[in-house]
A = this chain, B = another copy of it.
Amino acid sequence: MPRHRFTQADVAAMAGVSQSTVSFVLNGNAPIGVRISEETRNRVLEAIRITGYSANPVAQRLAGGRNQILGVFTYEKTFPRGGRDFYGGFLNGIERAAEQLGVDMLLFTSARVVDGRRRLTRDGWQRLGLADGCLLLGQREDQSELQHLLDTNYPFVFIGKRVSEGGRLPYVGADYVEATARQVGRLRALGHTRIGYVGPQGADQASIDRIDGYTRAMRADRLPLRFVDMHDAQAGADEIVERRLTAILVAPEQSPDEIVDALGQRGVRMPDDVSFLLLGQSHHLRQRDVSWSGFTVPREEMGARALVLLSRIVDEDSRAASDSRSRLDDADLHQMLPCPDVDGTSLAPAPISERTHP
In the complex, A77 Cα to B97 Cα: how many Å?
Answer: 12
B57 lies within 8 A of A127 (CB): yes
In the complex, A122 Cα to B6 Cα: how many Å?
Answer: 11
A92 lies within 8 A of B88 (CB): no
B152 lies within 8 A of A3 (CB): yes
Contact of A102 among B3, B78, B110, B126 (CB under 8 A): B110
Kindly state the interface size class of chain A when it binds its partner: 35 or more
B107 lies within 8 A of A95 (CB): yes
- Selected interface stretch from A61-69, A211-219, A254-262, A272-280: A61-69
State the number of copies, please. Answer: 2
Contact of A62 among B58, B78, B80, B289 (CB under 8 A): B58
A58 lies within 8 A of B56 (CB): no
B130 lies within 8 A of A57 (CB): yes
Contact of A104 among B102, B110, B122, B152 (CB under 8 A): B110
A122 lies within 8 A of B52 (CB): yes
CB distance from A314 to the nearest CB of B (A): 12
One digit per residue, 1 when the CB lies within 8 angstroms of any chain B CB and 0 when it does not, for chain A 81-103 equals 10000001001100100110011
A1 within 8 A of B: yes
A267 within 8 A of B: no
Residues of chain A in range 28-77 having any CB-CB distance to chain B below 8 Å? 52, 54-59, 61-62, 67-69, 77
A110 lies within 8 A of B3 (CB): no
Q: A106-B105, A289-B289 are in contact. Are A130 and B95 (CB under 8 A)?
A: no
CB distance from A299 to the nearest CB of B (A): 11
For A103, the chain B residues whose CB sits under 8 A away are: 109-110
A189 within 8 A of B: no
One digit per residue, 1 when the CB lies within 8 angstroms of any chain B CB and 0 when it does not, for chain A 196-218 equals 00000000000000000000000
CB distance from A102 to the nearest CB of B (A): 5
In the complex, A331 Cα to B288 Cα: how many Å?
Answer: 43
B56 lies within 8 A of A80 (CB): no
B95 lies within 8 A of A79 (CB): yes
Cβ-closest chain B residue relative to A64 = B2
For A92, the chain B residues whose CB sits under 8 A away are: 79-81
CB distance from A268 to the nearest CB of B (A): 25
In the complex, A108 Cα to B59 Cα: how many Å?
Answer: 18
A106 lies within 8 A of B106 (CB): yes
What are 13 contact pairs spanning A and B, CB under 8 A?
Answer: A3-B152, A5-B126, A54-B122, A56-B126, A57-B127, A57-B129, A58-B58, A58-B129, A58-B130, A62-B62, A105-B106, A106-B106, A289-B289
Given A56-B129, A62-B62, A80-B92, 6 new contacts (CB under 8 A): A58-B62, A79-B91, A95-B109, A98-B110, A99-B113, A102-B110
Binding site for B on A (CB under 8 A): 1-3, 5, 52, 54-59, 61-62, 67-69, 77-81, 88, 91-92, 95, 98-99, 102-110, 113, 122-123, 126-127, 129-130, 151-154, 289
Sort A-B residue pairs by CB-CB distance and give the 7 closest, nearest first: A54-B123, A98-B109, A52-B122, A105-B107, A79-B92, A54-B126, A58-B61
